[in-house]
Amino acid sequence: MLVSNSDAIAAALRELPATPLCVGYSGGLDSSVLLHALAASPRARRQGLRAWHVHHGLHAQADDWARHCQEFCRSNELELTVSRVSVARDAGDGPEAAARRARHAAFESGLGAGETLILAHHRDDQAETLLLRLLRGSGSTGLASMTPWRACGEGRLWRPLLSVPRAALLAYAHSHGLRWIDDPSNDDDRYDRNFLRNRVMPLLRERWPQADASFALSARLAGESEHLLDEEDALALAAVRSLDPQALSRAALRKLPVSRRARVLRRWIAGLGLPPLPTQGVIQIESQLLDARADAEAEFAWQGAVVHAWRDLLHAQMHKPPLAEDWQTPWDGRAPLALPDGGEWRLEGADAFDAPGVAHARRGGERIVLPGRAHGHMLRKVLQDLGVPPWERRRLPLLSSPQGEVLAVGDVAVSARMDAWLRGCGGRLTLVGG
């Protein structure tokens, strides 16, 4: 029995999640069909169905597109959110990828708690994504292409139309008299996806009419395999974790098979919310970080993030610059001290220091008299013994007396004199943010 285009779309939307619903609405064919079909559902409306248009500002007609979306939503009595985003044009991987990042960043930050963001990617999109991933040499994670569900900010993202061909969406739009936006950039074959869509896929369909369905099936099967691998990855990651979620044991990592280790590293980085670890990053960690000397400062940096190797651990975080050597400022403790990296140094539990001091960066050669000691110790050695990594040491502010006596090092060490004073007044020093 033949299934109508409307029935195929209705079937794809049958399992609506019981959450508030938001459609990512560009005004193009795909999202227009998705929004129209959902607007026809009394249940979707009861669940607070709304639309969200991201204005990238990349095209001369972008304002007209936003107005088109507003008119469509007004005529269908739907709430519309319009977000204007700034797209980094010099990101290095093209305007399409930069626009996608900006769009998803807006979704991640603006989606309501528990809300479901619904996107209109369809079977043809999935086939193109699989081909792009194959051409980039992706493994099973990449070949799974677009997944139907994933986390998104405080809610979830859903792609219900991945099994529906674009032809069905086009037929639906014509049968319901829908108007939509045609982005002229979709005809520009300089972009990889457009080249595949406009020139490669038509040739493949001539020979293999079911090419789109076959590619989408391969992506689904890869996704199923990926799910099984993912469960094992979670167990392996738990086995190599340290008490600090941003650090993994190098010794434990070395016991894993190389292929599993690569997956564990990528999962760890993703879980920290850092940019995806590139293939070169895995290679660098394998060749230079895993077996680096315990006292070495080996690292791999990418897209503002960095993995350091120190002692037995790998540490991952966004790169944070050290304090400038010439940074210094008076501080009496009455108000939090703003630090150059955006953080604050605070005196809590006391109104002010008994005498004002000078906050400054480390310059090398400092000594500190620790509580219970009669003689000063090299600050470098004290921080080493406390297990403070080298890159963190360079960011720690020092508090010294006007005479140059080191009184405190961030919130990790205080001098005997400062310790006695803090104990006497019930105060403590803390670093916040940054």
> Half-sphere exposure of residue 384, counting CA atoms within 13 Å on the CB side?
9
Do 358 and 314 lie in a common domain? no
pTM for this prediction? 0.67
Residue 86 confidence (pLDDT) above 60:
yes
Do 111 and 251 lie in a common domain? no
Give the pLDDT confidence score for residue 5 in this predicted structure. Answer: 65
Give the pLDDT confidence score for residue 369 in this predicted structure. Answer: 96
Q: How confident is the model at residue 263 (pLDDT cuts 50, 70, 90)?
A: very high
In a domain, 229, yes or no: no
Looking up residue 45, the CATH number of its domain turns out to be 3.40.50.620
Final residue in a domain of this structure, among 164, 187, 220: 220
Give the pLDDT confidence score for residue 91 in this predicted structure. Answer: 54
In a domain, 236, yes or no: no
Do 289 and 388 lie in a common domain? no
User: Which residues carry a binding-site annotation for ATP?
Assistant: 26-31
Looking up residue 286, the CATH number of its domain turns out to be 1.20.59.20
Do 11 and 72 lie in a common domain? yes
Q: How far apart are CA 209 and CA 127, in angstroms?
A: 13
Final residue in a domain of this structure, among 185, 220, 255: 220
In a domain, 64, yes or no: yes
Do 189 and 273 lie in a common domain? no
Q: How far apart are CA 99 and CA 371, in angstroms?
A: 55
Number of domains making up the chain: 3
Do 277 and 402 lie in a common domain? no
Do 180 and 84 lie in a common domain? yes
In a domain, 47, yes or no: yes
Final residue in a domain of this structure, among 278, 296, 318: 318
In a domain, 101, yes or no: yes
Q: Which domain holds residue 354?
A: 328-432
Do 162 and 28 lie in a common domain? yes
- Condensed to tens digits (0 to 9), the pLDDT of residues 304-343 reads 999 999 999 999 999 999 999 999 999 999 999 999 989 9
User: Which residues carry a binding-site annotation?
Assistant: 26-31
Contacts of 260-265 spanning 24+ positions with Cβ under 8 A: 260/232, 260/233, 260/236, 261/286, 262/286, 263/141, 263/229, 263/233, 263/236, 264/233, 264/236, 264/237, 264/240
**Residue 2, φ and ψ in degrees, nearest 5:** -75, 140
Q: How confident is the model at residue 92 (pLDDT cuts 50, 70, 90)?
A: low
